[in-house]
Amino acid sequence: MERIYETNSPQETYALGRRLGEDAKPQDFYTLIGDLGVGKTVFTQGIAAGLGIKEPVNSPTFTVVQVYEGGRMPFYHFDVYRIGDIEEMEEIGYEDYFYGDGLSMVEWGNYIKELLPERRRDILIEKDLQKGFDYRRITITEVGI
């Protein structure tokens, strides 16, 4: 199933993320794809807020995974954009996160397709400049659910 949301401000994108965070259950899994500056971090900050995380959340630029423990359940925030090969994920012990007791979100999950859980939601954020600078289309596709 595929759901499409449209937002016209960072606040709306944040609010959508927050709803997902509020509804999240342990072992929920999201991938997140979208060009630079499209709102992935805004969306992720919403998710973290929905989980009750108070710590500031940013892009995990220098680490593949950033763990936030301060909320209702752990939040495992991955960015695999710069991953060299799948072995790096093995070294990190990704399975402990993916099949653990928290919510995992993997930015650029398409780079590690072979490792993605069969049950997950894929999120794509896109601009459409014809609809304005602040317009975003957010497509959430359920896979195996």
Kindly list the residues in this chain that would bind ligand ADP in the complex (CB under 6 A): 7-10, 12-13, 34, 36-42, 59, 134, 136
* Of positions 5, 10, 52, 59, contacts Mg ion by CB under 5 A: 59
Which residue stretch of 20-28, 58-66, 88-96, 116-124 sits at the interface with Mg ion (rule: CB under 5 A)?
A: 58-66
Residue 36's binding partner among ligand ADP, Mg ion, none (Cβ under 5 to 8 angstroms by kind) is ligand ADP
Q: What is the biggest distance separating any 2 CA atoms in the chain, rounded to whole angstroms?
A: 44
How far apart are CB 125 and ligand ADP at their closest, in Å? Answer: 7
How far apart are CB 45 and ligand ADP at their closest, in Å? Answer: 8
- Smaller CB separation from ligand ADP, 27 or 59: 59
Task: Count CA atoms closer than 13 A to 63's CA, side-chain side.
Answer: 9
Kindly identify the residues of this chain, within the stretch 34-53, that bind Mg ion according to CB under 5 A. Answer: 40-41
Residue type present at position 82: R
Q: Distance from CA of residue 141 to its chain's centroid? A: 13
Residue 136's binding partner among ligand ADP, Mg ion, none (Cβ under 5 to 8 angstroms by kind) is ligand ADP
Strand order in the sheet with 65-68: 2-7, 136-143, 120-127, 29-33, 103-107, 75-79, 65-68
- Residues near Mg ion, by CB under 5 A: 40-41, 59
